[in-house]
Amino acid sequence: MKDFNINRLVRKNILELQPYISFRDLNEFKKPVFLDANESASGELNRYPDSTQKTLKQKLSVLKNVSADQIAVGNGSDELIDLIIKVFCEPKEDAILMMNPSFAMYGFYASVNANSILLLDLDENFEIDKSKFLRMANEKQPKVFFLCSPNNPTGNSVEDIEFYIRNFNGIVVVDEAYIEFSDKKSCIDLLEKYPNLIVLQTFSKAWGMAGVRVGAAYSSKEIITLINTVKAPYNVNSLSLNRISEAIDRKDLVEQNVKNTLAEMCWLNHELQRLKSIKKIHPSDANFFLVEFEDVEKVYLKLFENEILTSKRSPKIPGCIRINAGSREENIRLIETLKTIA
Ligand SMILES: *Cc1c(COP(=O)(O)O)cnc(C)c1O
């Protein structure tokens, strides 16, 4: 990783771009009169939000123990996935690499940006075959590798993540959407070691704030500057910024939520195992199980008829449905319904 030059990986037109930053967000004022943005003088939400998201980044900086200029904030981590592709992948030329099966949004945004998708098929235990990875990484030279750990929809974590960061001649994005549920360490600790690493986290899962739409990227100062350059200036609204800042101040609530969810996962695992209709419960480091059923179509339909919505992964993952832990009441309804299936 010596002599790493980020500019080699960045799209040329992006390198030439100047970021749009609101002048007022770059300065401190004592008693300002804002007549610069054609806003209304009155109204509860009359002002544009802080385009630099300063307050939230300071809180995240303390929470995650990284410098504030190593953080980018997005309208969900989904937006950050799109922005990362926009920074590095030349439309119609470059490719992304992603695990298969994994989170569909990597492929979706690659397609939207006219980039091709290389699928790295996981083995029967949903693990990465290292030699297959090396072959695909070297032959096709994809620009960005999306590595999801714990992986959605399989639930397991990727072992030896550093191997993939070290042996990839481009940007490695480690998506840690479910890291709070896992006992594995976050890759944020590896940022100093690897200049090609981006870590994604979200407030949509363990933090219980999917409706607020906020995610964060942690990386080198250079990569974060590039992401901030391509983002829409006011990509996260003031209501959302405030709600997330408040949630960080009460992070004991999140820890409690994670504890409850893990207790429900434990209960679900126990109850699911006793059901005859089940073939296999895949081990999970997240807040969901990938479950293989004897007759997946029958099970999915039965649950659906009872207005219990789950995520059918069959036929792509044969026989499998992804089911996340709900409240105890919801989980009981799931199990009781499953019990009615012969
Ligand atoms: C749910 C999820 C996200 C979260 O996306 P947001 O846009 O932040 O809601 C990101 N990555 C993975 C793998 C997920 O499962």
The residue contributing the CA closest to ligand 1 atom 2 is 177
Average pLDDT taken over every residue of the chain? 96
Query: Read out DSSP for 196-263?
Result: TEEEEEESSSTTS-GGG--EEEE--HHHHHHHHHHS-TT-S-HHHHHHHHHHHHTHHHHHHHHHHHHH
**Distance from Cα 146 to the centre of ligand 1, integer Å:** 12
**Distance from Cα 43 to the centre of ligand 1, integer Å:** 33
**Distance from Cα 287 to the centre of ligand 1, integer Å:** 13
| pLDDT for res 1 | 61
144 vs 157, 223, 262, CA distance in Å? 19, 13, 32
Instruction: State how far the Cα of 96 lies from the Cα of 235, in Å rounded to an integer.
Output: 24
**Distance from Cα 16 to the centre of ligand 1, integer Å:** 30
Strand 71-74 and strand 215-218: the pairing is antiparallel
Instruction: State how far the Cα of 165 lies from the Cα of 172, in Å rounded to an integer.
Output: 6
Mean pLDDT of 168-186: 98
Cβ < 6 A, ligand 1 pocket = 76-78, 103, 148, 152, 175, 177, 202, 204-205, 210, 215
| pLDDT for res 2 | 55
pLDDT tens column, 221-243? 999 999 999 999 999 999 999 99
The residue contributing the CA closest to ligand 1 atom 15 is 152
**Distance from Cα 139 to the centre of ligand 1, integer Å:** 29
**Distance from Cα 81 to the centre of ligand 1, integer Å:** 10
| pLDDT for res 314 | 97
pLDDT tens column, 148-163? 999 999 999 999 999 9
| Closest to 320 measured CA to CA, from 294, 283, 288 | 294
pLDDT tens column, 98-115? 999 999 999 999 999 999
Which of 109, 146, 198, 205, when mutated, tests ligand 1's pocket best, judged by the most ligand atoms within 8 Å of its CB? 205
Is pTM beyond 0.95? Reply is yes
Tokens of 9: 């990986």
